[in-house]
Amino acid sequence: MSIMLSEIVEQPSALERTLTAEAEKYRRLEQLLGSREIDLVLLVARGSSDNAALFGRYLIETTTGIPVSLAAPSVHTLYGAKLDLKRALVVGVSQSGEGSDINLVLESARSSGAMTLGITNESDSTMAGIVDETLLIHAGRERSVAATKTYTGQMLHFYMLARALGGRDLGIERIPELTDHALLLLEEIRSLVERYLFMDNCVVVGRGLNYGNAYELALKLMETCYVVAERFSSADFLHGPLALVERRFPVILFAPTGQTLPGSRGLLDSLKDLHADCLAITNDPDIAVRASRSLRMSPEIDEFLSPIPFIVPAQMFACMLSEAKGLDPDSPRSLSKVTSTI
């Protein structure tokens, strides 16, 4: 078993540990945040962490009503802009806590009056020494270059942060169990990847709370399988990119039940008319039947709880497709675990 796959399998226990270990910290943080006037949440990240932050944006805005922005680090690191962040909460997201540009933004934000938080897997990282409070992912060391358990750990922290900011209780304690259930698809996916062995290009589509997952799966396919993977929301995909789809062109669709389902069904209709090859990760029976191939998730999964369990089969798909292609998912060419940019 590859290291990447073994770390995918570790996710339910890592999520459970994080929920338990960070609970008291979030109780204190909720009181602290309640004493401040937060008008804006600014998220700072790169790579997979940025995809988790994209999820965090949708979650925090929809559950709290607080505007959320994804920071452009170059505004700080290259252009030296000074922003007024006195009423902002700035959250850095980095599995290693050593991203140079992320940490520079956090330092700039503190000097501009912001309250700062860091979501990381490393308690003794540079980031942990910069921020007002460190929110730890209790995933253990992540050895594979491709992030899996730290990505879902970051997403879990956004659930806890949204709740601390006054968001409604979504029942996030069920997430480890739902994630564990998703692992049951492993052997089905092992057989499925043979169909995509010679895939060189594809499109990954998701919307709303699963939009970040579309970016994350595309990234995993690019870094572990060397597949050119474009990613879109289902709405944006219809505004032009649909033109690139022809017979048997592969499209991977995140399609949970909920608010985004009508749009997913409409897109699937268009893809069927074009004779595309659509692989759906879904818990909607209609989409599961009508897609070319489907990975069926539990019908019990609410849309707001879907992003973490839904990314698990996508991670397994990328990992096992990489192995089927004769590649090493643990050591993608030209990449390292910690990437430093300014």
Percentage helix, strand, coil, to 5, in the chain?
A: 50, 15, 35
> Is position 334 within any domain?
no
Show which of 143, 170, 197 is a domain's final residue.
Answer: 170
Give DSSP secondary structure letters for 279-341: EEEES-HHHHHHSSEEEEPPTT--GGG-HHHHHHHHHHHHHHHHHHTT--TTS-TT--SS---
Q: Is 214 found in the same domain as 183?
A: yes
Give the number of domains in the chain.
2
Tell me the residue range of the domain where 280 lies: 176-324
Q: Is 118 found in the same domain as 65?
A: yes
Show which of 170, 191, 225 is a domain's final residue.
Answer: 170
- Output the pLDDT for position 341: 65
Q: Is 121 found in the same domain as 7?
A: yes
Q: Is 99 found in the same domain as 31?
A: yes
Q: Is 113 found in the same domain as 41?
A: yes
Q: Is 152 found in the same domain as 234?
A: no
Q: Is 186 found in the same domain as 160?
A: no
- Output the pLDDT for position 342: 62
The H or E element containing residue 23 is helix 11-34
The DSSP secondary-structure symbol of 12 reads: H
Q: Is 159 found in the same domain as 192?
A: no
Cα-based distances in Å from 149 to 10, 77, 139, 267, 338: 7, 29, 6, 30, 15
Whether 309 and 14 have beta carbons less than 8 Å apart is answered as no
Give the separation between CA 160 and CA 155, rounded to whole angstroms. 9
pTM for this predicted structure: 0.95
Q: Which residues of the chain, if any, have pLDDT below 50?
A: none
- Output the pLDDT for position 332: 83
- Output the pLDDT for position 42: 98
Alpha-carbon Rg for the chain in angstroms: 19
> Is position 206 within any domain?
yes
Q: Is 290 found in the same domain as 157?
A: no
> Is position 193 within any domain?
yes
- Output the pLDDT for position 243: 64
> Is position 336 within any domain?
no
- Output the pLDDT for position 287: 96
Residues facing 118 on adjacent strands: 92, 134
> Is position 29 within any domain?
yes
The pLDDT tens digits for 223-277 are 999 999 999 887 777 666 676 777 788 999 999 999 999 999 998 998 888 888 9
Residue 215's CATH number: 3.40.50.10490
- Output the pLDDT for position 333: 74
> Is position 79 within any domain?
yes
Give the separation between CA 164 and CA 64, rounded to whole angstroms. 10
Q: Which position has the token pair 């890592």?
A: 14
> Is position 342 within any domain?
no
> Is position 159 within any domain?
yes
- Output the pLDDT for position 72: 86
- Output the pLDDT for position 339: 60
Q: Is 163 found in the same domain as 14?
A: yes
Show which of 170, 190, 208 is a domain's final residue.
Answer: 170
Q: In sequence order, which ranges of 174-247 are alpha helices (DSSP H)?
A: 175-182, 186-192, 211-225, 234-237
Q: Is 112 found in the same domain as 145?
A: yes
Q: Is 150 found in the same domain as 12?
A: yes
Where are any strands of DSSP class E within 94-149?
A: 115-120, 133-136
